[in-house]
Amino acid sequence: MGKPLKNPPTYMINSVDHALRIAAMLQLEGELTVSEVADRLGVARSTAHRLLAMLVYRDFAVQDERRLYRAGPVLELAAHSPSAASRLRAAALPHMHRMVGVLDESANLTVRTGDTVRFIASVECFQSLRVGSREGMVFPAHHTTAGLLLLAELSGEELEAVYPAERYADRPAERPDLDRLRTELARVRRNGFALNQGRSERGVVALGVPVRAPDGTALAGLSVSMPSARYDRHRLPSLVDALSRTAGAVEADLARSA
């Protein structure tokens, strides 16, 4: 017996319906122009442009240098591995809560998609002065602790592919200095951790280590964040140890559930 036909809701919100249809088209079909979206939806180009602008704002779409729209970080993450991100989050959260209980500082789990990273899990500490939840937020990869960890896994050619000059032709200030970035990533590889002192946000210090799959591939960055006024560099070894132990526990759970 086939599935029953779905009836539309009593009160249709056309703008929401249009936005969801565009998101589905971008994810399933690839690049689209404003005119193509307008034709498919049967709306004016100005309406299609406003809908696409909102999807770009919420990271469901991005516009490239050719003025074509494609799936953004949210849709790319879902398309790449919808279940892997949720399994990773579920495996990490109990261990993140335990680590936050010990360190009394906030923790984050972050994955990379292209030149951006998305925070897929956050656990806040209970101190009155603390770093708040970043869950769901998207940042440029090279500005974040986890982004540096995950970019450090790439070869020189792969790093170039993440930051092609032509993609940033109309916004050159947003492209990192690759020579400087390579130097920073080499330091991250040597240390096995990334230290971020005010790079993402003024007054915040973050420290992170990678979370790896059984084959050694870096899946995510696990980090702890705190107000810079509370950071003591003498705590660095103990913080790295706590992060490494937590990452190891997450990796063990992922291996058991594989």
Domains of the chain from N-terminus onward: 14-74 (1.10.10.10), 81-257 (3.30.450.40)
Sort strands 194-197 and 204-212 into parallel, antiparallel or unpaired: antiparallel
Mean pLDDT, range 177-206, rounded to an integer: 94
Q: How many CB atoms lie within 10 A of CB 92?
A: 28
Instruction: Tell how far CA 120 is from the center of its chain.
Output: 7
Q: How many CB atoms lie within 10 A of CB 53?
A: 14
Mean pLDDT of the chain: 89
Instruction: State phi, psi for 31 to the nearest 5 degrees.
Output: -70, 145
Enumerate residues 6+ apart whose C-beta is below 8 A from 174: 140, 168
pLDDT at 177: 94
In the structure encoding, which two tokens stand for residue 201, read together? 């946000």
CA-to-CA distance for 14 and 37, rounded, in angstroms? 15
H/E stretch holding 64 reads none
In the structure encoding, which two tokens stand for residue 240, read together? 């790295």
Distances (CA, A) of 136 to 13, 117, 216: 25, 10, 26
pLDDT at 217: 93
Q: How confident is the model at residue 83 (pLDDT cuts 50, 70, 90)?
A: low
pLDDT at 77: 65
Nearest in space to 249 (alpha carbons), one of 202, 217, 209: 209
Please tell me the least confidently modeled range out of 67-76, 158-167, 174-183.
67-76
Nearest in space to 208 (alpha carbons), one of 141, 256, 255, 126: 141
Residue type, 46: S
Write the burial class of residue 172 (CB in 10 Å: 0-12 exposed, 13-18 middle, 19+ buried).
exposed
Whether the predicted pLDDT of 82 surpasses 80: no
Nearest in space to 151 (alpha carbons), one of 109, 205, 187, 107: 187
Whether the predicted pLDDT of 59 surpasses 90: no
